Structure formats: C-alpha cells, structure tokens
Amino acid sequence: MNKIRLGNSDLDVTKIGYGCMLISGDWNSDQITEQTQKDADNLIDICLDNGINFFDHADIYCKGKSEIVFSEALKKHKGKRQNIYIQSKCGIKLGPPFTSYDFSYQHITTSAENSLKRLGTDYLDVFLLHRPDPLVEPEEVAKAFDALHAAGKVRWFGVSNHTPGQIELLSKYIQHPIVTNQVEMNITHTHLLDAGIMYNQNNPRLARNTDLIEYCRYHNITLQAWSPLARGYLSGRTSDVPASNISAASKLVAQFATQKNVSREAVILAWILRHPAKIQVIPGITNISRLKACCEADSIVLSRDEWYQLFIAGRGEPLP
C-alpha cells in the first residue's frame, strides 16, 4: 500500500489508516465478550494483511474499551509493534452530567498514561488534542507535550478539528511540530473545500475557515479525514438519508465503481486521496467485506473531471 510522510515527522504511514473507534462494539460499560474480541482480531488481521500500518484511537472510544480490544488483538502479532503506528487522542470529557473539553496539563498527561496502559505499549507514535478547548492555556499544553516527549511516551503530536488560528496559538508555545490535523471530510461534507471557492460570494457556505487546507499544506501538516465514507450513505445505506444531494452523489459513486470495476468504498476514498494535499483517510468500518473494499482505493486514481463531478454532486449545487 502506498505511503505518505506524516507532516514533519519521520513516520511513513499508509494513505489509508484504520479508525478503531467501534472495534469494541458499543459505548456501554459492559465487559468485552469473547466474540467482540474475535471480531476485532479479524479486523486488525485484515488491516495488516492489506498493508495498513496506521491505527487511530481516542481515549473516549467506547469508554476506553476499543484501546483494550486493540491491545489484545495486537498480541497475535508479536514483533510487529515497530512496524505499525498507533495514534490516540485526548481532551474530550464525556458526561454525565455533561460533556466538556479539557486541555490542562493534568488531563493531557493522565489521558496519555491511561491510553498507554490500555493499549499495552510503551509509547504512542502520535498523540492528538481532540476537539478544541475554549479554555485552553497553551503553556499547559506545551508543558504536557514536553513531559510526554521527554519521557519517551509520545513521539509526535497533532490536533483534531482545529482551525488555523487555534493551531497558530498552540505553535507559539509548543516546541514540537504539529504533524497532523484530523477533520471531517467526505464527498457530502465538503465545507473545507467550499470555503476556498466560495470566498467573496453571497452564500452561507462562506461562514467557514477559508484557508485550513492551504494552511496545512503550507505548514506541512497532514490532514486526516475522519468519516471519509459519509457514514455509509454513499455506498448502500438507504435508511434515514438526510439530504437529496446524497442520492445524486450515491448514484454517481455507483456509476464510477461499475466503470472501474471496483467497490463504491474505493471510489469514495479515492476522491479524497485525489486531492494534492495528500490527505490520509481514516475509515472506521467494522464490516470485513467493506474494509477489504476500502483497500482498493489505493489502486485507482480519479480523473479531474470525475473528481469534479463527485464534488458538485456532493455539494448539491453548481460551482459559482
């Protein structure tokens, strides 16, 4: 599988990573069952067999169970730890009584320590700040990053769902480069692309960050696309379709898949991979056949016309 360099790091990661959010099955506090572990083992096996070397976690995923399940699955592959890259995130504090965000020194370091224990590893290759904390004190973030890096517990750092201004503020204080920014992006969630082309237009799409993609390209920050498969709406999910543009985009995806003799999942991911920003996609599906289908995206390239057709269909309106 083709690889890209993750930002300014020394990590050569596969263009297709794997999102481990749901590998433990659910978000309740029940014990992990034998079947759940077996299913997770199969998913990780498929990833490794297809060359995927990058696995994305967060401390909150299924209340920590996903990291535990992944750790157990990895025990079958002793000696491979140095050949795979593990990423986790922190900063979201789930309720009850309410959900909030916390980028304090104590929360960041404690979250990292707990993730390391659950994952059964001595270090994280990448550690991200999850959703932006309005009360962030960048000096505390810098202190936490320094401590984790000096202790050999985190190699590289990144963010998720952050704006250029929020990254700039952090970068003023931290000594370590931000190597990635994980954001939602897919054919029907095109806000980051719309922002650039709708500049100076009388359109509500303008109320977005106009330069996040360009900012990350300029500063060599790799964008990671979460929810790249649009929650299955473009590849067969028919229930609760939220908007008419999804139907049009879904038909076009199916058309291109038939023409290229690949899966619909491959076309959907290839649309993101076609962008010159070298965006890494992080699908988090737990269906074995769909996971295998995703891996086909690495072998096809959409033409400029095909890319724009999907872009326009996903937007649900013509370009200005």
Domain boundary assignment for the chain: 3-315
Q: Using the structure block, give the residue that is written with the tokens 């599988």.
A: 1
* pLDDT of the residue at 243: 66
* pLDDT of the residue at 196: 81
61 is known as an active-site residue? yes
* pLDDT of the residue at 241: 63
* pLDDT of the residue at 197: 83
Question: Which mean pLDDT values do the consecutive 10-residue runs of the chain (320 residues) have?
Answer: 97 98 90 96 96 97 97 90 96 94 98 98 97 98 98 98 96 98 96 83 60 96 97 81 80 96 97 98 96 95 97 93
List 18, 61, 85, 233, catalytic entry? 61
Q: Which residues of 233-264 are buried (b: 16+ CB within 10 A; e: fewer)?
A: bbbeeeeeeeeebbebbbebbeebbeebebbb
* pLDDT of the residue at 209: 58
* pLDDT of the residue at 80: 87
d(CA 206, CA 89): 29
CA distances from 235 to 55, 115, 187, 262, 266 (A): 23, 33, 12, 12, 10
d(CA 6, CA 12): 6
State both tokens at 290.
């769909």
Radius of gyration of the chain (CA): 19
126 DSSP β-pair partners: 87, 156
Do residues 64 and 114 make contact, with C-beta atoms less than 8 angstroms apart? yes
Closest by CA position to 282, among listed 158, 182, 161: 182
Helix/strand number for the chain, H first, E second? 11, 12
Dihedral (Cα; 140, 102, 125, 145), 10-degree rounding: 0
Contacts of 21 (CB under 8 A, 6+ apart): 56, 57, 58, 61, 62, 66, 284
Distance of CA 164 to the CA centre of its chain: 18
Phi, psi of 317 (to 5 degrees): -160, 155
Q: Which residues of 134-152 are buried (b: 16+ CB within 10 A; e: fewer)?
A: eebeeebbbbbbeebbeee
* pLDDT of the residue at 148: 98
* pLDDT of the residue at 199: 73
- Other beta carbons within 10 angstroms of residue 8's beta carbon come to 15
User: Looking at residue 31, what DSSP letter applies?
Assistant: P
Q: Using the structure block, give the residue that is written with the tokens 């879904």.
A: 250
Query: Alpha-carbon torsion 205, 183, 15, 150, what sign?
Result: positive
154 DSSP β-pair partners: 124
Say yes or no: domain 3-315 is CATH 3.50.30.50: no
Closest by CA position to 150, among listed 175, 121, 181: 175
d(CA 234, CA 26): 24
**Whole-structure pTM value:** 0.95
